[in-house]
């Protein structure tokens, strides 16, 4: 069972995933994962038996864990957290720990091995959005779970270990400190101004225009003012909403178009870079609030995070967001 | 002039280094820097004119910016912050910014191009420690500067862009949020317990022993309880001290031995991995305090930080610190 441990100096929780335990020799620079070399892809249709049984699939007529699906969600074969058991919070001298309870699932976005998310049809991206929503709505019934991160690692430098296009979710028994911080700062702003900081940001960015990539009637795509990374890109719903999983049909449909358009622009301008995308949303067991505003952050992996960033949490970004916004706008492809 | 911008949702400052501005095509996967190919190394003796004039050097008898030095400190040729000018804090709608005032210096650790820090003599490492201390003591006279990070990027995956062994310092006009957080949590602990959390940690780790790598009369080397990364290693002075720059001769001498021993163990067990080391210390303009305890964190770059970590600040570590401590202890080399 993995263990959650808290650092007493930073209040940061860490997952010590001892079941994935790696010895020094395991860390030698690994070769790129490849299926060209003839390895069998466990995410391809026909290989359903090579994964744990699915927890959700969109399919027409066929039986579970068989071919015929258009999207499939499975527990991660090597989960960083386990769903069975009790938290058992306890001390260890000055330290704090608990069992690594949570969920770790993989969303196989398409039966087609070779397509990137940007290359999927809008319909398929919309399906991915529904899968994210459906899994969150199911998992929130487990009251031990406090937060779910929905994310994607695209490309090996961004952490992907399998080529077949997929996203992940990790459900946690605590609200992570970084998320808690965003919530607190947003709530503080709301108390001071009686307005949501994200809603204010959207109004200012639309008026200013210099950091806007795309705008639809429902979403705004920007390069944020204090972007940590070159081409860091945020997708924000224009209407205030604290929880991603409350998304309605019209928003899901429009978001599918916006995501495809944005990812295509990024792939085109940066020549198919590795990237991560993450959905930032409010904690699972809390009701809708007026101060936090769910959104998607896309982070192309173009620069290396080095000693300075690790030591300070202060980022150095060599590309002003006004410049990256212009490159993305000029990419067209809308 | 670079600009500091603050994110309104996280209160995080970012350096937008527009003078280093990079266009999309600059981000194509760069080849490893190399001098084997015959490029001239600006850090090698004889090439002093290829760097900005030195701000400090340890040399015997020779003139500044000439050969004959054993260690040399120069301003970074492409600084992320500039030393001239005023901060000019101002708003930009809901956003906050200021001029990128600060210092960015490079410490060339040895005239020998090919040696890693671990391969330097103890005397040379002691010199590096003195250079760190001397630069901090000089820069703290500039009252605009609030924090100095001393760090090293070793190897290209850890962010090094030149091979010749060197460390860096960045002096900032604000105390970074991550540092502020560590200070606050430590102060909170002190108020609650009337003991330094690091002093408590040292006592517990010495008694427990399972995470100890090395112990001398003045320093303790451990794999921290909630290590974020495999083989994350901390070097802590056993006697409470809030500021690195107050280090005395006996501690500097012992630290040189401890650093060499620790880096050699890491290089041996992990086959010369890329790594970062960082000195965590109290803010520059504050007097000695009883709650924060300076220390060194060494982070081998063995795993990739992916979407989950970016989204939550929650780390997944596949190697329990008790196991990595055992590997390092067994490496011997003391």
Express each pLDDT in A234-270 by its tens digit. Answer: 999 999 999 999 999 999 999 999 999 999 999 999 9
pLDDT value of residue A33? 47
Interval A294-318 mean pLDDT: 87
CA gyration radius, chain A: 20
pLDDT value of residue A311? 77
User: Where does chain A show beta strands of DSSP type E?
Assistant: 3-6, 13-16, 56-59, 69-75, 90-92, 95-99, 103-108, 147-154, 166-172, 212-215, 219-222, 233-237, 275-280, 295-300, 315-317
Report which of B254, B264, B275, B256 is spatially closest to residue B334, judged by C-alpha positions: B264
DSSP string covering A273-305: --EEEEEE---TTSPP-SS---EEEEEE--S--
pLDDT score of B196 more than 70? yes
Q: With CB atoms and an 8 Å threshold, state whether A14 touches B153.
A: no
pLDDT score of B217 more than 90? yes
DSSP helix/strand/coil, B300: strand
Interval B284-289 mean pLDDT: 95
Active site residue A240: no
B275-280 sheet: strands from edge to edge: B56-59, B69-75, B103-108, B166-172, B147-154, B275-280, B295-300, B233-237, B219-222, B212-215
Interval B310-318 mean pLDDT: 85
pLDDT value of residue B34? 47
Interval B305-327 mean pLDDT: 88
Q: What is chain A's mean pLDDT, rounded?
A: 91
Does any CB of chain A come closer than 8 Å to the CB of residue B227? yes
The DSSP element (H or E) to which A321 belongs, if any, is helix A321-330
Express each pLDDT in B68-98 by its tens digit. Answer: 999 999 999 888 898 888 888 999 999 999 9
Interval B26-55 mean pLDDT: 76
Which residues lie below 8 Å from residue B323, measured CB to CB, with a gap of 6+? A21, A23
pLDDT value of residue A150? 96
* B186/B197 Cα distance (integer angstroms): 6
pLDDT value of residue B61? 86
* A243/A322 Cα distance (integer angstroms): 29
Structure confidence at residue A31 as a pLDDT band (50, 70, 90) = very low
- Tell me B10's DSSP state: T
Q: Is the pTM of this model over 0.90?
A: yes
pLDDT score of A119 more than 70? yes
Structure confidence at residue A334 as a pLDDT band (50, 70, 90) = low
Interval A140-169 mean pLDDT: 90
CB B178 within 8 A of CB B297: no
* B99/A68 Cα distance (integer angstroms): 58
A9-18, B218-227, B268-277: which has the highest mean pLDDT? B218-227
Catalytic residue among A154, A164, A166, A280: A166
pLDDT score of B30 more than 60? no
pLDDT value of residue A30? 46
Domains along chain B?
A: 3-23+37-176 (3.30.428.10), 178-330 (3.30.428.10)
Q: With CB atoms and an 8 Å threshold, state whether A308 touches B151.
A: yes
Q: Which two three-digit tokens encode residue B71?
A: 């260690």
d(CA A259, nearest CA chain B) in Å: 17
pLDDT value of residue A38? 61
Q: How many residues does chain A have?
A: 334
Structure confidence at residue B28 as a pLDDT band (50, 70, 90) = low
Task: Give CA B223 to chain center in angstroms.
Answer: 17
Distances (CA, A) of B169 to A160, B1, B159, B242, B281: 33, 19, 14, 19, 13
Q: Chain A, 69-108: which have a CB under 8 Å from a chain B CB?
A: 80, 92-95
- Comparison of pLDDT for B311 and B51, the residue scoring more: B51
Minimal-distance CA residue of chain A relative to B170: A308
| Pairing mode of beta strands B103-108, B275-280 | unpaired
Report which of A13, A5, A255 is spatially closest to residue B314, judged by C-alpha positions: A13
Q: How many residues does chain B have?
A: 334
Structure confidence at residue A156 as a pLDDT band (50, 70, 90) = confident
* B205/B221 Cα distance (integer angstroms): 10
Interval A137-148 mean pLDDT: 96
| Pairing mode of beta strands A13-16, B315-317 | parallel
Task: Report the residue from B21, B28, B278 with minimal CB separation from A319.
Answer: B21
Phi, psi dihedrals of residue A166, rounded to the nearest 5°:
-155, 155
pLDDT value of residue B291? 97
pLDDT value of residue B19? 66
Question: Best of A305, A311, A327 to disrupt the B interface by mutation (most B CBs within 10 Å)?
Answer: A311
Q: What is the torsional sign of CA A217, A219, A221, A224?
A: positive
Express each pLDDT in B112-166 by its tens digit. Answer: 999 999 999 999 999 999 999 999 999 999 999 999 999 999 988 777 778 899 9
pLDDT value of residue B21? 63
Residue A199 sits at the vertex; the CA angle it makes with A195 and A201, to the nearest 5 degrees, is 110
């Amino acid at each position: 069972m993995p263990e959650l441990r808290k650092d007493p100096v930073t209040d940061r929780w860490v997952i010590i995933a001892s079941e994935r335990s790696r010895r020094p020799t395991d860390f030698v620079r690994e070769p790129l994962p490849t299926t060209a070399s003839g390895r069998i892809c466990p995410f391809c249709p026909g290989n359903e038996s090579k994964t744990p049984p699915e927890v959700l699939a969109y399919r027409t007529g066929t039986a579970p864990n068989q071919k015929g699906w258009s999207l499939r969600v499975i527990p991660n074969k090597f989960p960083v957290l386990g769903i069975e058991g009790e938290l058992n919070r306890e001390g260890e001298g000055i330290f704090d720990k608990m069992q690594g309870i949570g969920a770790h699932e993989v969303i196989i976005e398409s039966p087609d091995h070779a397509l990137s998310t940007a290359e999927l049809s809008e319909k398929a991206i919309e399906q991915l959005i529904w899968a994210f929503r459906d899994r969150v709505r199911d998992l929130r019934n487990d009251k031990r779970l406090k937060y779910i991160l929905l994310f994607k690692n695209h490309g090996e430098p961004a952490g992907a270990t399998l080529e077949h296009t997929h996203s992940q979710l990790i459900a946690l028994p605590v609200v992570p400190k970084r998320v808690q911080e965003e919530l607190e700062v947003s709530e503080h702003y709301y108390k001071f101004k009686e307005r949501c900081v994200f809603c204010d940001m959207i109004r200012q960015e639309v008026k200013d225009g210099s950091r806007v990539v795309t705008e639809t009637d429902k979403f705004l795509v920007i390069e944020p003012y204090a972007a940590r990374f070159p081409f860091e890109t945020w997708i924000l719903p224009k209407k205030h909403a604290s929880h991603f999983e409350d998304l309605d049909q019209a928003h899901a449909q429009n978001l599918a178009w916006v995501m495809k358009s944005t990812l295509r622009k990024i792939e085109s301008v940066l020549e198919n870079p590795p990237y991560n995308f993450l959905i930032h949303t409010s904690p699972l067991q809390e009701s809708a609030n007026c101060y936090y505003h769910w959104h998607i952050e896309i982070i192309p992996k173009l620069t290396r995070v080095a000693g300075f960033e690790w030591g300070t949490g202060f980022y150095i970004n060599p590309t002003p967001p006004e410049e990256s916004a212009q490159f993305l706008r000029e990419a067209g492809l809308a």
